[in-house]
Amino acid sequence: MNRGKTPLTIDTAVLRDVVDGEWAEARRRIRDLTTDSTLHLPAEGTLEELRAATTAAVAPVAASGLTRLALPVEEGGTGRHAEYIAGFEELVTASPSLQIKAGVQFGLFGGAIMHLGNSEQHEKWLRPALDGELMGSFAMTEIGHGSDVAEVGTTATYDVEAREFVVHTPFRAATKEYIGNAARDARAAVVFAQLITRDVNHGVHAFFVPVRDEAGEPLPGITIEDDGKKGGLLGVDNGRFAFDQVRIPRGNLLTRYGSVAADGEYSSPIESPGRRFFTMLGTLVQGRVSLDGAAVVASKLALDIAVRYAHDRRQFTSTSPVEETRLIDYQRHQRRLMPLIAQTYADAISHDTLLHTFDAVFSGDDTTPEGQELLETQAAGFKALTTWNALDTIQEAREACGGAGFMAENRLVGLHADMDVYVTFEGDNTVLLQLVGKRLLTDYARELKDIDFGGAARLIGAQAAEHTLYRTGVANLGRAIGDLVTASVNDKRVRSGKVQEALLRDRVETMVATVAQALRPAQSKDKASGARLFNENQNELIEAAIAYIELLKWQGLNAEMHRIEDEGNHPEEAKAMRRLRDLFGLTLIERHMGWHLMHGRLPMARARQVGPAIDALCAKLAQNSLDLVDAFGYGPEHRRAPIADGAEAQRQDEARAYYRAARARSDWPADEKELRKRAARR
Amino acid sequence: MNRGKTPLTIDTAVLRDVVDGEWAEARRRIRDLTTDSTLHLPAEGTLEELRAATTAAVAPVAASGLTRLALPVEEGGTGRHAEYIAGFEELVTASPSLQIKAGVQFGLFGGAIMHLGNSEQHEKWLRPALDGELMGSFAMTEIGHGSDVAEVGTTATYDVEAREFVVHTPFRAATKEYIGNAARDARAAVVFAQLITRDVNHGVHAFFVPVRDEAGEPLPGITIEDDGKKGGLLGVDNGRFAFDQVRIPRGNLLTRYGSVAADGEYSSPIESPGRRFFTMLGTLVQGRVSLDGAAVVASKLALDIAVRYAHDRRQFTSTSPVEETRLIDYQRHQRRLMPLIAQTYADAISHDTLLHTFDAVFSGDDTTPEGQELLETQAAGFKALTTWNALDTIQEAREACGGAGFMAENRLVGLHADMDVYVTFEGDNTVLLQLVGKRLLTDYARELKDIDFGGAARLIGAQAAEHTLYRTGVANLGRAIGDLVTASVNDKRVRSGKVQEALLRDRVETMVATVAQALRPAQSKDKASGARLFNENQNELIEAAIAYIELLKWQGLNAEMHRIEDEGNHPEEAKAMRRLRDLFGLTLIERHMGWHLMHGRLPMARARQVGPAIDALCAKLAQNSLDLVDAFGYGPEHRRAPIADGAEAQRQDEARAYYRAARARSDWPADEKELRKRAARR
């Protein structure tokens, strides 16, 4: 049932460079590492077996040299931050459990020591942490406070007599919860607690707290509980810490953003406690960045499996009574998978943009507050949409493989279970999108930055109030929206990139302007009324943030397409990129078609072209779908799904051989003629 | 942040009767049974432990008398088919594994013997099957043929000398796959195979085949493999059967729709092999019916947990610096959960409609072919949408509970993992929707019924060609669509039920007419071109089927609302039902807003009212959300999620008590004044 058009002739190496991006080498190095089956999570086993296997895989990661990439040059590292993150993300090909376990150990525990500790502390704890010798936890989240980390209940009170901090969990809701490495492996933890000295609370700071002795037993005053079974990430030993007046030396406070002298005097390079806290959090953004990239890897693996299966699996006869139709040739199947491929290309490319921003800030090339804010906005927005995209993509891939997709051996159900928590940890997606929304608002209208929406202000982050015009581009909204609409109406082709961008951009700008307008009265209201007004526009603000991130993703894909077109030496690959760009853009426009029409941005006749254009693009891209997933750069040792690598094709070949032989022997009644007769009877 | 309106005063018993429907008593009886913790699936354990626990729970189900309800009166049963199914569905409250395990044993294995066997066969096998003494499998699906069951490769060839059938798996793709009870418990299986006698293939028939001896060892010629770990339903022992020339007595053919005399002569009450096969399949529709109801139960449990947590969980301070805002009061949270509650009410009510249809056909009250077709269409369409709804609902509920939702102890991740396969087994949802779509087409235009779309005709079921006008209502499309549009334009209120119905109905009818128009040329084309044309409209046909089922679900909720309004003695509950009806209707209209606008069915100004109307309905319904989930009729012993039943509330109470006491002692620096200062600094 192909449409009789010739597929493009694609050099998949060209597209592979696009998808792998700037730090392709690091990705490929780790992919080589993860072909080693000792790094893989067994398909079955008790929790303890799965955890032990994951722990055992941490050492080879450390030995690979990956974990030292991010170390400052003066401490024996290279300071190559983006390369470090890119490599980490590819650990998903071993298992998401390993990516998270290693992320907890090296990125969170090691990262907190690196970014919040002083050089003496680096000397003592950072090297053993990065070598995987000192296993540790990152204990920020409490059971009573997930997203609102400024309000953790754990206290660290300075005892001037003893020159010690007393770390304490004052009530059960202040128990550190969902903490990776806690249940089994951690010897120490970086604990976030309210620093109290001389009876003044200076806000949240990080402390290095030993939690287990050499024999693995909890130290006195420390209660450790196991979270037990989770929805996924079964190789990670999450658990809880509670502290009963646990004493640690004064030198265990990580001092980059605040220190306490022996006499109890507090000092900090940053005066405002709010700014201090968010600056500290800012150094930990790399976790969010790497989840964005990890989600891309998971989507790629899922699509790789589903597309290969769709080429091998046949179902129902169409034109021939003996040769069944391949799944990939069904229109609905194309409609299910092709837009997800386009989206995954967009996600991969926009993640590379995020890595560039990250690298600039962390290497010190960009030390402006605006650079830091851009990084936080991109990390929040991309992480939110990409992790949701991954869940949707994996689920669709699993359903597209039918019953075979439900078998653990074919990986898809495990990937979904593992990625599930990515949408709510390292920043709940809904909260992250509000951070993005607030940035859009303050960029749009300076006067909105000072509104105190009560608790709502905390919810969406504090730094937003300190800088504006931080590059969302929405600040330029001054120009008439009419311009954009005219642009879109004048261009006849609904597949024009200009039309797509105008529609997506116009939607963001209109939505932001509408919410800003609705919130203006909040300035003259009391705190409670302001908060209520904010809440009444919360949904719209989140939708605006989603629209903005979708636009950024589209722009990234579009720019990459133009780069290849402009280079001129890969015309077929450029054509494929254009089809992906168009499919991604039109899918977004179709998703929000109600909005575009409701606001008079698109004539009805034009709108009706969108569906058929998507159908046509899906049919064309389906012809090259194997190339498109080949470009993801994974082999059978990464997919590890029998149905994607020949099991299905082999079974079908055997069946066909059987029917052919039976017909030749003519002792089989269901020969072709009989089959035709039966088909006709129905 | 409530909107200052008073919540409705709701007698939840009234709504409970609505949700539980006609067979409420059976549901409540089984809910009582499932409070017994020995029926529950342990949260952790090896595959073998989980399977053993599930198997052990089968006996109490049989002992409850449930399994005998469906037996014919003359064989000691009551013939109460819908009551039987309703009871079964509630087994999900013990675990989806038990519902499926029991469904395989009693519904599929027992059901096949009951509906396809003769009275002698009932005597021998049915009673031990329904008592749970004879454990068995239903072996239809093959690894090479999932949805296309008419084409199974397994053969049962009659050997006239030995008076035996020889059951054989001729090639690997013909292996029976994903078969429940196969890996561990089955002693016998009902095997679907091509019946060959005197060198003629009479199509697929069912055979009773012993598979294990008393010691549990596979019988000679039978290879059994374990499917191992799956994405969910870990208590069910799925596996594979392959047969190597396995001999069974002639009497093991289940003879209702075909028998073979000792001399090899084949006879059947139904001449057409196609009709025979689909009539046989028709008797097995109850599996699909019960999955529809099981999915409703799973959605109810998930919402029950998430809504209770949203009332207890607080996050971020809003108007008060010490009292945080409840999740349920956030607009976005309302927008996430309230439409799913409305949808679940619609799903529950439409499932009751399906049970009525099922009961009429199976009790013999409705023996018309149209009744059978209505049943098949409703079962296919409802099952598809309701199971997808359940997956979406459980996922949203899990995310709405944050990290706590990811912990296995809070049930949501397990429910999602278990329900996952419901969307592709007992009829893949995509295939089922094509069956519905084909019915809509033939109802709309008689001349389309005879088109042979090649394999596509097989894909969408054969009986559709035998009857038309079977009650989809689309046959009445003759009247001008203009009428409907006028109705919707004249009524000012976008929340009018007439407007909602007109929009939903108009959409179905227009979509069906459009596809029919596009397919007309197929009549004059060769088979290959016809199939291609069909494929080019496949996506639109499936969308039309979805639109039709959405309309039916809306109509069910609407009718139930009117019933309560008309009775007049429960005005507040009627008001709640009206809000649910409006929210469900407007959510559907919002989802398809692009279509309604693109086709000029809704003025832009009216369309813009839909979003705010949904916001307002969500805010109102949120005030009664505890009542709405109370009406689901589940207690803590069904939810079994600590966060839903006090764990969260208790922790928060302790935290508040601590802060109050600390302030009273005034040795705590973070007193209210200090907190205010800190909040202001940010």
Q: Quickly list DSSP for A39-85.
A: GSPPSS--HHHHHHHHHHHHHHHHHTTGGGTTS-GGGT----HHHHH
User: What is the structure's pLDDT at A666?
Assistant: 52
Distance in Å, alpha carbon of B595 to nearest chain A alpha carbon: 7
Nearest to A353 by CA among A5, A64, A21: A21
* A323: number of Cβ within 10 Å: 12
Inform me whether the pLDDT recorded for B479 exceeds 50: no
**Binning pLDDT at 50, 70 and 90, where does residue A320 land?**
low
Q: What does the pLDDT average to over B557-569? A: 97
Q: What does the pLDDT average to over A153-160? A: 97
Q: How far apart are CA B83 and CA A244, in angstroms?
A: 56
Name the residue with higher pLDDT: B298 or A314: B298
End-to-end Cα spacing for chain B:
22
Name the residue with higher pLDDT: A314 or B348: B348
In this structure, of A93-107, A450-464, A579-593, B256-270, the range with the lowest mean pLDDT score is: A450-464
Name the residue with higher pLDDT: B431 or A281: B431
Can you name the residues that pair with B215 across neighbouring β-strands? none
Inform me whether the pLDDT recorded for B515 exceeds 80: yes
Q: How far is CA B30 from CA B84, B301, B634, in A?
A: 10, 15, 12
- Here the tokens at position B109 are 């294995």
Inform me whether the pLDDT recorded for A672 exceeds 60: no
Contact B402 A424 (CB under 8 A): yes
A77 close to A70: Cβ distance less than 8 angstroms: yes
> Per residue in B206-250, pLDDT tens?
999 999 999 999 999 999 999 999 999 999 999 999 999 999 999
User: What is the structure's pLDDT at B317?
Assistant: 63
Does B4 contact A at CB distance below 8 Å? no
User: What is the structure's pLDDT at B274?
Assistant: 82
> Per residue in A399-454, pLDDT tens?
999 999 999 999 999 999 999 999 999 999 999 999 999 999 988 876 566 555 54
Contact A146 B604 (CB under 8 A): no
Q: How far apart are CA B351 and CA B347, in angstroms?
A: 6
Helices B497-519 & B527-536 angle (0-180, nearest 10)? 150
Q: What does the pLDDT average to over B550-568? A: 97
In this structure, of A324-338, A467-481, A542-556, B47-61, the range with the lowest mean pLDDT score is: A467-481
Residue A532 Cα to chain centre, angstroms: 31
pTM confidence score? 0.94
Q: What does the pLDDT average to over B172-180? A: 96
User: What is the structure's pLDDT at A479?
Assistant: 38
3-state secondary structure of A253: strand
Contact B654 A177 (CB under 8 A): no
Does B337 contact A at CB distance below 8 Å? no
Nearest to B628 by CA among B401, B303, B165: B303
- Compute chain A's Rg from CA coordinates: 27
Q: Chain B residues with CB inside 8 Å of A452's CB? A: 680
Angle at B401 between CA A300 and CA B57, to 5 degrees: 90
User: What is the structure's pLDDT at A115?
Assistant: 93
A90 close to A297: Cβ distance less than 8 angstroms: yes
Closest-CA residue of chain A to B317:
A455
> Per residue in A39-94, pLDDT tens?
999 988 899 999 999 999 999 999 999 988 888 888 888 889 999 999 999 999 99
Q: Chain A residues with CB inside 8 Å of B598's CB? A: 593, 597, 604, 607-608
Tally the C-alpha atoms within 13 A of residue A60's C-alpha that lie toward its C-beta: 19
Inform me whether the pLDDT recorded for A323 exceeds 70: no
Nearest to A144 by CA among B312, B237, B40: B312
Q: What percent of chain A has pLDDT over 90?
A: 73
B614 close to B582: Cβ distance less than 8 angstroms: no
Pairing between β-strand A239-243 and β-strand A176-179 as defined by DSSP bridges: antiparallel
Inform me whether the pLDDT recorded for A313 exceeds 50: yes
Q: Chain B residues with CB inside 8 Å of A413's CB? A: 230-232, 417, 420
Q: Chain A residues with CB inside 8 Å of B451's CB? A: none
* Helices (H), ranges, A477-624: 481-490, 497-519, 527-536, 538-567, 571-591, 593-598, 604-623
Contact B536 A408 (CB under 8 A): no
Q: What is the mean pLDDT of chain A?
A: 89
> Per residue in A368-389, pLDDT tens?
988 998 999 999 999 999 999 9
Dihedral (CA of B536, B538, B543, B548) sign: positive
Contacting residues for A617 by C-beta, under 8 A, at least 6 apart: A338, A579, A582, A583, A586
Q: How far apart are CA B81 and CA A582, in angstroms?
A: 52
Dihedral (CA of A489, A490, A494, A496) sign: negative
3-state secondary structure of A166: strand
* Matching residue, tokens 């929707």: B433
**Binning pLDDT at 50, 70 and 90, where does residue B315 land?**
confident
Q: How far apart are CA B267 and CA B258, in angstroms?
A: 6
Does B636 contact A at CB distance below 8 Å? no
* A266: number of Cβ within 10 Å: 16
DSSP A230: B
> Per residue in A608-632, pLDDT tens?
999 999 999 999 999 999 999 999 9
Inform me whether the pLDDT recorded for B480 exceeds 60: no
Query: Which amino acid, one-letter code, is at B673?
Result: K
- Alpha carbon dihedral A319, A324, A329, A335, in 10-degree steps, equals 110
- A227: burial class by Cβ within 10 Å (0-12, 13-18, 19+)? buried
User: What is the structure's pLDDT at A119?
Assistant: 93
Distance in Å, alpha carbon of B477 to nearest chain A alpha carbon: 23
Q: What is the predicted ipTM? A: 0.93
Q: What is the mean pLDDT of chain B?
A: 89
> Per residue in B482-504, pLDDT tens?
444 444 444 456 678 999 999 99
A241 close to A137: Cβ distance less than 8 angstroms: yes
End-to-end Cα spacing for chain A:
22
**Binning pLDDT at 50, 70 and 90, where does residue A145 land?**
confident
User: What is the structure's pLDDT at A76?
Assistant: 82
In this structure, of A557-566, B215-224, B435-444, the range with the lowest mean pLDDT score is: B435-444
Does A270 contact B at CB distance below 8 Å? no
Q: How far apart are CA B3 and CA A678, in angstroms?
A: 65
Distance in Å, alpha carbon of A95 to nearest chain B alpha carbon: 16
Does B666 contact A at CB distance below 8 Å? no
* B550: number of Cβ within 10 Å: 24
Can you name the residues that pair with B176 across neighbouring β-strands? B142, B241
Q: How far apart are CA B346 and CA B344, in angstroms?
A: 5
Q: How far apart are CA B193 and CA B204, in angstroms?
A: 5
B209 close to B232: Cβ distance less than 8 angstroms: no
Q: What percent of chain B has pLDDT over 90?
A: 73
Of A143, A228, A325, the CB nearest to B408: A228
Contact A194 B670 (CB under 8 A): yes
Does B38 contact A at CB distance below 8 Å? no
Of A428, A457, A592, the CB nearest to B682: A457
For residue A134, give the H/E element and its range.
Answer: none
- Alpha carbon dihedral B210, B215, B220, B223, in 10-degree steps, equals 80
User: What is the structure's pLDDT at A460?
Assistant: 41
- Alpha carbon dihedral A503, A504, A508, A514, in 10-degree steps, equals 30
Q: Chain B residues with CB inside 8 Å of A600's CB? A: 604
**Binning pLDDT at 50, 70 and 90, where does residue A462 land?**
very low
> Per residue in B29-44, pLDDT tens?
999 999 999 999 998 8
Q: How far is CA A208 from CA A130, A188, B516, in A?
A: 15, 7, 70
User: What is the structure's pLDDT at A454?
Assistant: 45
Inform me whether the pLDDT recorded for A675 exceeds 60: no
Name the residue with higher pLDDT: B151 or B492: B151
Q: How far apart are CA B70 and CA B53, in angstroms?
A: 26
User: What is the structure's pLDDT at B450?
Assistant: 57
Q: How far apart are CA A456 and CA B235, in angstroms?
A: 45
For residue A661, give the H/E element and its range.
Answer: helix A647-665
Q: How far apart are CA A524 and CA A51, in angstroms?
A: 55
Name the residue with higher pLDDT: A393 or B278: A393
Nearest to B582 by CA among B547, B621, B552, B628: B621
Q: How big is the A-B interface in CB pairs under 8 Å?
A: 329
User: What is the structure's pLDDT at A283?
Assistant: 82
User: What is the structure's pLDDT at B279?
Assistant: 86
- B371: burial class by Cβ within 10 Å (0-12, 13-18, 19+)? middle
Helices B497-519 & B571-591 angle (0-180, nearest 10)? 30
**Binning pLDDT at 50, 70 and 90, where does residue B3 land?**
very low
